[in-house]
């Protein structure tokens, strides 16, 4: 059985999971709220770190293949 693993669909699924995990923010349990906020902060930091590493990796690949700006713009699409 084939499944759709397109990045767009996967992103929606991850966002949906994040939203369901973070919905307990409305709870009166302050320890739970603090833990959720801490985890949310960690998630955001990891996302930023991943983006930074992807950008660095892209730059190394561009240099490896000696791509000019025009070629980079084609690859980035």
Q: pLDDT at position 28, please?
A: 84
Angle between helices 7-22 and 30-64 (to 10 degrees): 160
Q: pLDDT at position 12, please?
A: 64
Q: pLDDT at position 26, please?
A: 74
- Contact (CB, 8 A) for 36 and 25: yes
Query: Which residues of the chain carry a pLDDT beneath 50?
Result: 1-2
Q: pLDDT at position 77, please?
A: 80
Q: pLDDT at position 1, please?
A: 47
Encoded tokens for 23? 């919905």
Q: pLDDT at position 47, please?
A: 98
Helix (H, G, I), strand (E, B) or coil at 69: helix
């Amino acid at each position: 059985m084939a499944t759709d693993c397109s990045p767009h669909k996967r992103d929606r699924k991850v966002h949906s999971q994040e939203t369901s995990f973070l919905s307990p923010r409305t709870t009166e349990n302050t320890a739970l709220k603090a833990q959720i906020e801490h985890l949310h902060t960690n998630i955001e930091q990891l996302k930023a770190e991943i983006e930074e590493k992807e950008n660095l990796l892209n730059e190394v690949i561009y240099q490896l293949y000696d791509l000019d700006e025009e070629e980079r713009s084609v690859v980035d699409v």
